Amino acid sequence: MKGKPGVRHSFMIKDILRSRKLLLLVVAAGMVLFYVCLSARSVPAALTVTRKSTTFVAKRPAEPCQSNHDAGFLTAIASKLVDASGCRVYLTGVNWFGFETSSFAPHGLGVRNWQAMLKQMAQLGFNTLRLPFSDQLFDPSSVPQGINYRLNPDLRGLHGLALMDKIIEGARKAGLRVILDHHDASADERSAFWYDAAYPQSRWIDDWVMLARHYRGNDTVIGADLDNEPHYPATWGDDNPYTDWRLAAEQAGDAILAVNRDWLIIVQGIDLYQGDSYWWGGNLEGAAKHPVVLSIRDKLVYSAHDYGPSVYDEQWFKVSSPAVLTQTLPALWDRHWGYLQKDGIAPLFVGEFGGPSMGGDLEGVWQRTLISYLHTQGISYAYWAWNADSGDTGGILQSDWKTVNQGKMSALSAYQWPLLGQP
């Protein structure tokens, strides 16, 4: 039966009105539930919900994690480093050298207490300590020199791995994370390769496996910088078992990850690739065609070193005025290593850069331009160096090993990140 058209029309209007009321009730209930859920999750201050009439716009937080979360070990996701809670972090650290030298101990311990220096690093805003060492450090005959045991009584009798343990434990108490850096095979001798006549490739890998196993589970130590500044005749991607640094890095990295799945594997560049010469360890052009492939893909971090004219007056510093560098240097960095981060290939860690000047000269403009570039691109770094005795760059500490170079800290403070796991 068709019924009367007028009557049927009035029923349809009532039905529609009832449906709309029901829909409004459902929407209102959903909005209440949304706010209850947000409150229960303790929304970070960075996440704000702005009311515009009946439209709610959620502003995505730049860093979504709150303080006091579990930082733990780090993972590489595309070009980002994230901690155990999934929060993005940036390593803004400093190098403290000496373990790689014939002193077999971090320098400065003749005039300062070791714990006081680590505490000072954290107070100045660094969150990471890059700690160079040599294979020779672990030989029983390698006895530390230059330590004032009156100032450092708790270091007496310690050497090699035991002394490294002590420094790392102090770093933990100060809130610093540690990256171990294989700086040399033999103390005070910079080989072009990751090995030399006294310490072959097998010893290099064995020492890394020993360290990875020894510090397994200790989240103060977060990564292995496999070798410092390989350079010519080191190659990249030609599969020569004696010279191919990319191949060697894969072998050592996989050996480490087999016993310690938590560490970041940090791989520097070389200097000469297909005729293009750059800083030792700073040329990563080859990674585009021949990437490092590890057994655990999200542990790879590439690393470059970059220096100014105080180390060597490279051709790109020959400009009409220092100000020109602010325009020319970013493209140079993009080509040699920055593209890896910018293109989302892998995170970058500039493990060394530094120089004596932060002024308006070539050195100062280079340093300040690089800091700005690292900040803009979100690239982690470790400054060279903490030490007052770094001859061609100077250090954060001045010659008394106590006074801070305020010019350097003023520039670096523009790009520092809190202690991992802290606000």
Q: Which two tokens stand for residue 77?
A: 């996701």
Active site residue 229: yes
pLDDT tens digits for range 376-422? 999 999 999 999 999 999 999 999 999 999 999 999 999 999 999 87
Give the up-direction half-sphere exposure of residue 413: CA atoms within 13 A in the CB hemisphere.
13
Measured distance CA(80)–CA(64) in Å, rounded: 14
Return the closest-CA partner of residue 378 out of 44, 130, 78. Answer: 78
pLDDT confidence of 54, banded at 50, 70, 90? very low
The pLDDT score that the predictor gives to residue 70 is 81
The pLDDT score that the predictor gives to residue 423 is 61
The pLDDT score that the predictor gives to residue 62 is 34
Q: Which two tokens stand for residue 72?
A: 């733990």
The pLDDT score that the predictor gives to residue 421 is 82
Percent of the chain residues topping a pLDDT of 70: 84
pLDDT tens digits for range 309-321? 999 999 999 999 9
DSSP-based three-state secondary structure for 273: strand
Position 39 pLDDT exceeds 90: no
Mean pLDDT, rounded, of the chain: 88
Percent of the chain residues topping a pLDDT of 90: 83
8 A C-beta contact, residue 148 and residue 138: no
**Catalytic choice (229, 250, 285, 363):** 229
pLDDT tens digits for range 160-193? 999 999 999 999 999 999 999 999 999 999 999 9
The pLDDT score that the predictor gives to residue 55 is 25
Measured distance CA(349)–CA(337) in Å, rounded: 10
Active site residue 169: no
The pLDDT score that the predictor gives to residue 69 is 74
Return the closest-CA partner of residue 212 out of 179, 173, 184. Answer: 179
pLDDT, average across residues 22-30: 40
pLDDT tens digits for range 253-305? 999 999 999 999 999 999 999 999 999 999 999 999 999 999 999 999 999 99
Helices (H) and strands (E) in the chain, counts: 9, 15
Per the model's pLDDT, the better-predicted residue between 15 and 178 turns out to be 178
**Catalytic choice (250, 285, 352, 363):** 352
Position 18 pLDDT exceeds 60: no
